[in-house]
Structure 1
Amino acid sequence: MPLRRSGPARRTVPLAAGTLVSLFSVLALPLALTGSATASDAEKRPAHPEQDWMGSTIIAHEGGDRAGGSEPRASGHRAVAGVDVSSHNRKVGWSSLRKSGVRFAYVKATEGTNYTNPYFAQQYRGSYQSGMIHGAYHFALPDHSSGGSQAEYFVDHGGDWSRDGRTLPGALDMEYNPYGATCYGKSHKGMVSWIQDFVQTYREETGRHAVIYTSTNWWKRCTGNSGKFGRTNPLWIPRYGSSVGSLPAGWQYHSIWQHTSSGHRVGDRNRFNGSYTRLKVLANGH
């Protein structure tokens, strides 16, 4: 599998007079780096990042059918099955999932600016090698550091995009704070600005609009139901039941639906809202 994208050139930084070094000079994708905290963020290192996976706080705050796993009524015959995984899934049996009909996977890459998933290499490469379309996601901690710095950390530790036809744009996981105040101590305006900083930086770094994962309830509570991102960023919505329910402001439709947290083999199961051909369009970027 291609390890680095062939998209827009990464930004350069001056090292000495007349000397520039490209941040894109490293050709191998850093898949399992531990990251390094600076003095300013050392006190904000997440206490249990292995427990923070996509949707881990949704069931606690919003409820849902943990005994799910059945096919949602509204998925439609054209919807494509997918999974999302993180370190709590450890080594995933990708071949079995592929044989069961799963066609795409998102893998947690990072959280904040000092955690990377230690199983990322096996999960990210394994899903690709099994024949799936894959992507990476970032668990946001808006009270730890800026959106831009978290986007850069994500891109540099697995969240980059490859123009290979089988890599989905990175996803930003916005959900309830697992460490404190629901909205991370931010006002509606402050949260919208943080998200804008992340998605804009990700766009500058990769040429792609990040997917936004969020629940309608959290979005209303923490952004004031902002409609700012619906025209640019695909929506990934969690709702554990038979229908996707109402959507956050700005989005006319969802791209991915996380419909259960207790599916067979891997708990978190998803449906892409369209055909496999449309999923490949999302991967290709056109």
Structure 2
Amino acid sequence: MRRRSITLMPVAFRVSVTMAVAAGLFAVLSAGEIAQSRSRSLSDHKPHEAVARAHTMPVQGIDVSAWQGDIDWQSVRKAGVQFAFIKATEGGDHLDPKFLQNWYAAKRAGVARGAYHFVYWCRPAHEQALWFMLNVPPDPDALPPVLDVEWNGHSKKCPKKVSRDVALAKIKLLLAAMEAHTGRKPIIYTDLVFHREVLVGELKDYHFWLRSVAAEPEKVYRQRNWAFWQFSTTGYVPGIKGKVDRNSFNGQQSSWDRVLKWLEASN
């Protein structure tokens, strides 16, 4: 599949990316400054040569949870990170203990951020939707929420898979609830196995955030354009102790800047 550059732009109520950081809090670096900063600061503990292109893409980001501990978001921003997806909720009763701390600290540092919900397949979708709505502020300056869909194979309580039809029904209910709560169309995060078993040919109206640490996404994902690429789980970013997932935006710096300017103006 030919790689297509994605530009996230608003379309009425069902926007692709909405409500960014308030005016004055998000100072976008020029492409040259970002590239220079990234060459000095952003790296990987175990870089994979097959995804070398990801490291040179203009707009770099991370995703974080409580596993990263206390984060110095000012240092993260100075290193060239422009966006972050922050874990908020999981299933119907787990709130990431660092969510609110990360949520507001990232905003203060000028990092565009969105919250993500990790789906737990043994919990009814409506309970998960309510849990997300109760715990994630519908901030007018946030990126779209993310629905994280992958199999819970490492879970001690819920390692089983559900049928494709059941999985899709849960996903669609959650997507609708998240959009109703935030006023913006969610992004879908997934991995190769779940995509192949459940998502091929489905949900084409949504932007996708794809995990692919050993190959470029278009080489391993069938029938799927993408907006964000998680290319490493062993990243190094100043301000974060230990490893962190690294991501890139599928577009040029100018595309990202236009999105942010519109979002800031609409806030």
TM-score norm. by structure 1 comes to 0.66
Find the counterpart in structure 1 of residue 67 from structure 2. 88
Q: CA RMSD in A?
A: 3.0
User: Relative to structure 1, is the Cα distance of residues 101 and 109 closer, same or farther in structure 2, using a 3 angstrom cutoff?
Assistant: same
> Deviation at 1:72?
3.6
Whether 2:227 is the aligned partner of 1:255: answer yes
Whether 2:85 is the aligned partner of 1:110: answer no
Find the counterpart in structure 2 of residue 270 from structure 1. 247
SS in structure 2 at match of 1:262: strand
Find the counterpart in structure 2 of residue 3 from structure 1. none
Structure 1: how far apart are the matches of 2:104 and 2:48?
25
User: Relative to structure 1, is the Cα distance of residues 76 and 69 closer, same or farther in structure 2, using a 3 angstrom cutoff?
Assistant: closer
Structure 2: how far apart are the matches of 1:218 and 1:181?
19
> Deviation at 1:181?
9.3
Gaps of 5+ in 1: 1-7, 9-64
Q: May I ask how many residue pairs the two structures share in their alignment?
A: 216
Contact residue 151 and residue 194 of structure 2 kept, 8 A: yes
User: Relative to structure 1, is the Cα distance of residues 200 and 117 closer, same or farther in structure 2, using a 3 angstrom cutoff?
Assistant: same
Amino acid at match of 1:149: E
Amino acid at match of 2:167: M
Gaps of 5+ in 2: 1-12, 14-43, 238-242
Find the counterpart in structure 2 of residue 176 from structure 1. 151
Query: What do residues 183-210 of structure 1 show as CA deviations (whole Å, max 9, x unaligned)?
Result: 8431111111111111112122222111
Amino acid at match of 2:112: I
Structure 1: how far apart are the matches of 2:256 and 2:156?
36
Pairing of 1:179-218 with structure 2 (within 5 A): 179=155, 184-218=160-194
Find the counterpart in structure 1 of residue 135 from structure 2. 157
Structure 1: how far apart are the matches of 2:192 and 2:139?
30
Contact residue 138 and residue 172 of structure 1 kept, 8 A: yes
Contact residue 141 and residue 184 of structure 1 kept, 8 A: no
**Identity score, percent:** 27
Greater RCO, 1 or 2 (C-alpha within 8 Å, sep 6+):
2
Amino acid at match of 1:200: A
Find the counterpart in structure 1 of residue 209 from structure 2. 236
Find the counterpart in structure 1 of residue 79 from structure 2. 100
Structure 2: how far apart are the matches of 1:226 and 1:192?
11
> Deviation at 1:76?
7.9
Greater Cα offset, 237-246 or 73-82: 73-82
Structure 2: how far apart are the matches of 1:272 and 1:249?
19
Contact residue 107 and residue 120 of structure 1 kept, 8 A: yes
Task: Considering fraction of residues, name the structure with more helix.
Answer: 2
TM-score norm. by structure 2 comes to 0.71
Query: What do residues 57-95 of structure 1 show as CA deviations (whole Å, max 9, x unaligned)?
Result: xxxxxxxx9712789433385531101110111111211
Contact residue 68 and residue 241 of structure 1 kept, 8 A: no
